[in-house]
Structure 1
Amino acid sequence: MSRPGFVLEVDERTPPLLISEGAGCRLERLPLGSKVAYPAESKPGVPHVAEAIGRALLAPHDQQPLAALLRPGMKVAIVFTDAARPAPGMARPDVRTEALEHVLSLAADAGVDDVRLVAANGLRRMQSAEEIRQITGERVHRSFHADGLIGPHDAEAPDLVELAPGVTVHRAVGEADLVIDIAVVTDPGQTGWNQLATGVTGAATAWAQQGHGADDSVRSEVAGVLAAHLQVCHIEIVLDQHLHTGRLAFLDKREWEWSVRDRVNVLAMRRLQDLAPHRVRRSFLDAPSAPYGVLAVNAGSVDAVAAASRTVLLDQQTVDVGPAADVVIAGPAPVTEHNQGAVMNPLIAAWDTLARTFGSHTGTPAVRPGGAMILFHPLPQEFNARFHAASADFFEKVLTATTDPAVIHAQHEAPFVSDEWYVNLYRTQNAFHGTHPLQLWYSIQPAIQHCGDIIWVGADRASAERMGFRAASTLADALEIAAANVGRTPNITHLHTPPSLIAEVSA
């Protein structure tokens, strides 16, 4: 039996606690009385993934079995989760490989010979042929690559298919008689129509759901169009909480349970962090070796599958953290969907803590309105020249002029949306779309509006100030800065992530 998540109250016996800070971590002694919310241990997964996939396709939710939907002469588009999600990468064999091979076997048995495979990268960077081969496996890639029947989605392609005014999709998807959508999910926000609605739609359609002022009504409208025009067999593979193994296994454990080997590895990691260049530390944590297991495989209609997957995820990840805290302490994960193979720049660090972590709750944020978030990351002004060119320009040119999202939307957004240079980088150089920094910046605004203070410990002061935040050298300094809003004896909660944790705030 796996142990549930729980909240520890810090006392004199509590050891220094691990706090993630991107490509590194630190040990901190928290003030007495602080609360530490630990994620649950991963629940037992399915013992045989291939068999679970087969069972899901034979007995889907609210839909006929996949074999009954397939027929000779039909066009089939298979959409699959792209290489950037989840992060870090999965150990081989990839569960997406197993799902694709099973689906293709059923298609072959049914006499279907017009099949195209599309990676659902949306406005994220397109994957190289080698990255896609690692997802699909050698056999699948060899069968489809030579004929140009497999590849990443191009949201700026000139041959997109319009399903309705304002809603365009990848041509293979729009012309398919059946769309088989294989999604790998690690949090509730990835379930349902999300992958199709943002992953294989045109740039304007995707941006309408992610840009300034976008809300659930826009996303629901796009989902409604897709539901009306596409026949979809939706498959969701729900991953467990196992992120690290070997020398990094200590990252998934509770500090007082570290073995002697774990403690040696902690010291080695700290030494590497002090001496090695950032790219070396990042590559150490970025290796595609996460020992993910599979909690569930659900197939069938999109909405029914999403409901089943969300139930599994909430049961695995929800932790009762008690009342909303005056101060929440957190740090970004080593690798996110936005920086695989690249340095974590300040915008991505802000997104991971102020959008993902802040927004991971059942209805009420873990920090009270007007409270403070104290975050740990160096915020280096380093941007991957290939992947994050637009982010570098946004950080240097836009944030020096204004941090106001309304002003950015009105006066600075247009070039990032449509400039030919950014479009060319996206289409030909595996760069993130020009809208990427805008998406990151807009997504952290709810946290900025909610919190009275956002303070970064150990951060480049100029980076923090440019984004409208404050910097501190130590946790004690950060608490001193926050005292003006939360007092000198605040209630403190440390969200001990990763792995994932969904905060449930109680009265």
Structure 2
Amino acid sequence: MARPGFVLDVDKRTPALLIPQGAGCRLEKLPVGTRVAYPAESLPALPDVDEAISAAVDAPLDSAPLTDRVAGAERVAIVFTSAHRPAPPMGGVDLRIRILEAVVGRLAEAGVKEVSLLAANGLHARPDTEALRALVGERVFRSFHDEGLLDTHDATDDSNLTEIGATDDGVSVRINSRLAKADLVVNVVIGTEPGHVGWNQIATGATATETVWAQLSDTSGKVTSQVEEVLSDKLSVLQIEVALDQSLYPERLAFLGKREWEWNLGDRAGLLALRQALNVAPHRVRRAFFERNPGAYGAIALVGGEVAKVSEMTRARLLEQQIVPIEGQADVMIAGPASTTEHNHDSVMNPLIAAWDVLGRTFGQHTGTPVVRRGGVMICFHPLMQAFNSRRHSASEDFFNTTLQETSDPQRIRDEFEQKFLSDAWYTHLYRAQGAFHGAHPLWLWNAMQPAREHCADIIWVGADRASAERLGMRAATTLADALEIASNAVGRQPSITYMHTPPSMVADVTGGVSA
């Protein structure tokens, strides 16, 4: 049985604890009384993935089998994820490939005339030919690519977008025409977090820029719900979802996922060697080291059927694996970004992405009550180097160096700069032809941080470039002690502190008032 997540109270005997800071990590002795929230261990993986795939397509939930649903169908569109994809397990086959091959095989047997595949990348960088080959596997790639039936979604291509409805507030719901014309859409989703399941992949990954942006810029969730209602009404979908376990590291880096007091001598030697290597390596080498050393992940759920039913089951399974009960909010929340995220695969973690990972993702992973109280302080760890991938993150570099130089006020950014990033011809060209993120990407990251910025009295980055922190409207400190000294203006000199010991992901279930 997998061990659940739990909260450790730091005392004098507690060793220095590991804190991630992007492409690296540090050991930090935390103040006595700090609460440390540890993620749960992975739930048991499915014993037979191929059997689960067969059940998903041949005996789906609240749905007829795939072959029955395509009887007489002329067009089927298969949608798969690229934005949230983890690296394939060492020596194994990506689960997505096995699902796609099973679906394509049954569609061929059923005699469907036209089968197309679409990578639902949305505003993320569009995968190139070789990335597509890796995503779908050699057999599927050879069968569909040269025929023009395997493609990546282009959120800016009006010629290949079809309006299927509108929200109550007049937001146009335009989706990729392959999906609009299909008799059936097979939506293959790889879920690592509860928010990545359900309609999300189609709603934000296969729609027009304005449809995506209306959802991302609405923090209430109202627009998203209405877009999903339109999709549910207009599309016939067979949903296949996979929930992954928490295995992020290979055996030689297993200590990164362990609880520090359980480290053996080999773990400590491995950490020492890792830190020495990372301290002298260029940043690109450090980042590549983590990207090229994935863990051999497993699937804890693999379900097919009607979208609402499938996503309900997958979300529940992910929450079962990730939820951690925490008693009371803290005055100070400590966290650091993971080595790589969906926004910087194969590229440097720039300050916007680092801030998004902590303030947008980690801060927001709770069941309704944030870990830190309103008016509290967040202390984050990252150097915030002013380094940007000029090909993938050109818009983010401009946003950081020009827009934020002028203002960090969200309303002014919306009023004066939003349209430029949404529609600029150069950013659109880079997105369509050069593998860049969409021009709206920095706005997306910035908007996602606003709940944390508005909630907290101060946000302080330890070990960060001071100019970068100031550009973000935040502050920098040399050490944790310095950060707590700065924070004392808002929370006093004996604040309650909670450290979110991620990765892997966890969802905080905070109960009660502010902790003592």
**What's the TM-score, normalizing by structure 1?**
0.98
Q: Do 2:88 and 2:296's aligned partners in 1 also have CA atoms closer than 8 Å?
A: no
Partner of 2:391: 386
Partner of 2:366: 361
Q: Do 1:87 and 1:336's aligned partners in 2 also have CA atoms closer than 8 Å?
A: no
Q: 1:278 aligns with which of 255, 280, 283?
A: 283
Partner of 2:169: none
Partner of 1:85: 84
Partner of 2:205: 199
Query: 89-98 or 490-499: which moved more?
Result: 89-98
Partner of 1:503: 508
Query: 374-383 or 128-137: which moved more?
Result: 128-137
Question: Structure 1: how far apart are the matches of 2:256 and 2:264?
Answer: 12
Partner of 1:346: 351
Specify the code of the residue in structure 1 equivalent to 2:84: R
Partner of 2:258: 253
Question: Structure 2: how far apart are the matches of 1:476 and 1:73?
Answer: 65
Task: Return 5+ residue gaps in structure 1 as ranges.
Answer: none
Q: Do 2:5 and 2:37's aligned partners in 1 also have CA atoms closer than 8 Å?
A: yes
Partner of 2:41: 41
Note the 1:427-442 alignment, pairs <5 A: 427-442=432-447
Question: Structure 2: how far apart are the matches of 1:263 and 1:132?
Answer: 39
Specify the code of the residue in structure 2 equivalent to 1:162: E
Q: 1:456 aligns with which of 461, 465, 474?
A: 461
Tell me the number of residue pairs that the alignment of Structure 1 and Structure 2 aligns: 505
CA deviations 1:83-110 (Å, max 9, x no partner) are x313455543101001101111111121
Note the 1:207-246 alignment, pairs <5 A: 207-211=213-217, 213-246=218-251
Note the 1:420-499 alignment, pairs <5 A: 420-499=425-504
How far residue 134 of structure 1 moved from its aligned partner, in angstroms, is 1.0
C-alpha RMSD of the superposition: 1.2
How far residue 290 of structure 1 moved from its aligned partner, in angstroms, is 2.9
Question: Structure 1: how far apart are the matches of 2:109 and 2:54?
Answer: 14
Distance of aligned partners of 1:505 and 1:214 in 2 relative to their CA distance in 1, 3 Å threshold? closer
Q: Do 1:117 and 1:151's aligned partners in 2 also have CA atoms closer than 8 Å?
A: yes
Question: Structure 2: how far apart are the matches of 1:419 and 1:374?
Answer: 35
Task: Return 5+ residue gaps in structure 2 as ranges.
Answer: 167-171
Partner of 1:170: 176
DSSP-derived class of the 1:179 partner: strand
Question: Structure 1: how far apart are the matches of 2:372 and 2:66?
Answer: 45
Question: Structure 1: how far apart are the matches of 2:320 and 2:508?
Answer: 12
Q: 2:188 aligns with which of 182, 185, 202?
A: 182
Question: Structure 2: how far apart are the matches of 1:285 and 1:88?
Answer: 11
Question: Structure 2: how far apart are the matches of 1:479 and 1:300?
Answer: 50
Distance of aligned partners of 1:488 and 1:438 in 2 relative to their CA distance in 1, 3 Å threshold? same
Partner of 1:314: 319
DSSP-derived class of the 1:55 partner: helix
Q: 1:336 aligns with which of 324, 335, 341?
A: 341
DSSP-derived class of the 1:146 partner: coil
CA deviations 1:339-367 (Å, max 9, x no partner) are 00000000000100001000000110011
Note the 1:128-167 alignment, pairs <5 A: 128-157=128-157, 158-165=159-166, 166-167=172-173
Give 4+ residue runs of structure 1 displaced > 3 Å after superposition.
Answer: 86-92
CA deviations 1:232-259 (Å, max 9, x no partner) are 0011100000000133211111111112
Query: 457-466 or 246-255: which moved more?
Result: 246-255
Question: Structure 2: how far apart are the matches of 1:461 and 1:291?
Answer: 38
How far residue 273 of structure 1 moved from its aligned partner, in angstroms, is 2.3
How far residue 159 of structure 1 moved from its aligned partner, in angstroms, is 2.3
Question: Structure 1: how far apart are the matches of 2:491 and 2:220?
Answer: 31
Note the 1:60-139 alignment, pairs <5 A: 60-82=60-82, 84-87=83-86, 90-91=89-90, 92-139=92-139
Specify the code of the residue in structure 1 equivalent to 2:142: R
DSSP-derived class of the 1:196 partner: helix
Q: Do 1:81 and 1:121's aligned partners in 2 also have CA atoms closer than 8 Å?
A: yes
Q: Do 2:58 and 2:66's aligned partners in 1 also have CA atoms closer than 8 Å?
A: yes
Q: Do 2:20 and 2:338's aligned partners in 1 also have CA atoms closer than 8 Å?
A: yes
Q: Do 2:100 and 2:136's aligned partners in 1 also have CA atoms closer than 8 Å?
A: yes
Partner of 1:23: 23
DSSP-derived class of the 2:358 partner: helix
Distance of aligned partners of 1:126 and 1:492 in 2 relative to their CA distance in 1, 3 Å threshold? same
CA deviations 1:23-44 (Å, max 9, x no partner) are 0000000001111110010010
Question: Structure 2: how far apart are the matches of 1:65 and 1:58?
Answer: 5
DSSP-derived class of the 2:160 partner: coil
CA deviations 1:312-369 (Å, max 9, x no partner) are 0111100012111111110001110000000000000010000100000011001111
Question: Structure 1: how far apart are the matches of 2:392 and 2:337?
Answer: 19
How far residue 136 of structure 1 moved from its aligned partner, in angstroms, is 1.0
Q: 1:289 aligns with which of 294, 298, 322?
A: 294
Question: Structure 2: how far apart are the matches of 1:355 and 1:472?
Answer: 21
How far residue 56 of structure 1 moved from its aligned partner, in angstroms, is 2.3
How far residue 61 of structure 1 moved from its aligned partner, in angstroms, is 2.0
DSSP-derived class of the 1:161 partner: strand
Query: 300-309 or 257-266: which moved more?
Result: 257-266
Question: Structure 1: how far apart are the matches of 2:476 and 2:183?
Answer: 54
1:304 matched to 2:309? The reply is yes
How far residue 58 of structure 1 moved from its aligned partner, in angstroms, is 2.7
Question: Structure 2: how far apart are the matches of 1:214 and 1:202?
Answer: 19
Q: Do 1:87 and 1:335's aligned partners in 2 also have CA atoms closer than 8 Å?
A: no
Question: Structure 1: how far apart are the matches of 2:86 and 2:453?
Answer: 25
Question: Structure 1: how far apart are the matches of 2:370 and 2:318?
Answer: 18
1:54 matched to 2:54? The reply is yes
Q: Do 1:129 and 1:151's aligned partners in 2 also have CA atoms closer than 8 Å?
A: no
Q: Percent of aligned pairs with the same residue?
A: 54
Q: Do 2:9 and 2:35's aligned partners in 1 also have CA atoms closer than 8 Å?
A: yes
Specify the code of the residue in structure 2 equivalent to 1:397: T
